[in-house]
Structure 1
Amino acid sequence: MKLSHEFMGEFIGTLLLVLFGCGSVAVTILFSAHVGLFQVAMVWGLGVTIAIYATRHLSCAHLNPAVSIAMVLGRRMSPSKLPLYISAQFIGAFVAAALLYLLFADSIAQYESINHILRGSPASIKTAMMFGEYYPNPGAGAAAVVSPITAFFAETIGTFALVFLIFSLTEGCNLGRPDDALAPLFIGLTVTIIISIIAPLTQAGLNPARDLSPRLFAYMAGWGEAALPDQHLGFISIYAFGPVCGALIAAGIFTFMIEPLMKAKGKENESCDC
């Protein structure tokens, strides 16, 4: 693949993913368009599926820096491509956030006016959560008590599950894997399941680009400290380093423990490409 094609694939795919996913959060907050977490999780999962189908002829359709880093560790992608993939993903997510703001700016302002929310104040986390994530989830009940360590662990284990299953669902040595045409659907369902469990705690970021780029846009669009409430960059640690840690652990376990067992059982000695 040409590098320009791969950049466009990751840019467009991540843009679509964030546009659909964050869009579902936005319409739920502003218009009560979805009832319950599972409906939002389904939109996220379908968004992942559609974004992969739409762009995997251009790139490997990682759409997530944590996944791209894991693919390098798993020897499924050259390290030289990593900067291009990650930059495309962050730019795509930022553009998606800008498009969502253009679409809903008037509605957001009206919602803030009706609910007496001053943008940039701690109360404006209620609207800032359309872009970045928070722990505990501002929409969760009083029982959601989440420490920074718990939030980091939630993002780590959620991304671990996602990356481990991506490797498993796309590994040619796995005799139980779905057909290549169906793999994006199962990856999307995996995202839906993980969000349904993790989102009450941390809104289930699972993707540094999906969190940091929209969060940066919200900061620039007037949310200020509400978008980046932790001056010690704790949110960065949780929503960037947490997913990367989970992805690296998953890639290491799968590549160096599970894949050799699959090759031995499946009589297939060639490593898989993306």
Structure 2
Amino acid sequence: SGGHLNPAVTIALWLFACFPKQKVLPYIIAQFAGAFGGALLAYVLYSSLFTEFETAHHMVRGSVESLQLASIFSTYPAAALNVWQAALVEVVITSILMGMIMALTDDGNGI
């Protein structure tokens, strides 16, 4: 479809699938802008619900307890994982994603 799900996909397609180099930076900027724009829109639309949730559960923004609500906008590693383990998880799942994308979009594989 030509969809680039995230910067890792864009960079991998540039390195391994002849994606034009001059399009890499604009795509990555657009991906980040889209992610932040989507998060901003979700925050604006649901801010009153966030406030109600914080009040009902006695949460203070910025506290460890508030990570439960903050996880709406991003993911956080499990407390049992250190930074390197979390990074390894990201590398593995991104590799699986890219393997699937490359396999499904390869014209020579007969799918």
With normalisation by structure 1, the TM-score equals 0.39
Matched, 1:80 2:80: no
Q: Percentage identity across aligned positions?
A: 36
SS in 1 for 2:107: coil
**Higher relative CO (CA 8 A, sep ≥ 6), structure 1 or 2?**
1
- Which residue number corresponds to residue 89 of structure 1? 31
Q: Match for 1:165 among 100, 105, 110?
A: 100
Q: CA deviation at 1:109?
A: 0.4
SS in 2 for 1:173: helix
- Which residue number corresponds to residue 7 of structure 2? 65
Instruction: Tell me how many residue pairs correspond in the alignment.
Output: 111
Task: Output the amino acid matched with 2:87.
Answer: F
Distance 1:114 1:75 in 2: 50
Matched, 1:149 2:91: no
Distance 2:36 2:87 in 1: 23
- Which residue number corresponds to residue 110 of structure 1? 52
Q: CA deviation at 1:76?
A: 2.6
Matched, 1:132 2:74: yes
Q: CA deviation at 1:63?
A: 2.7
Task: Output the amino acid matched with 1:74.
Answer: F
SS in 2 for 1:86: helix
Q: CA deviation at 1:146?
A: 1.6
Distance 1:145 1:63 in 2: 28
Equivalent runs, 1:120-269 vs 2, <5 Å: 120-136=62-78, 145-175=80-110, 177=111
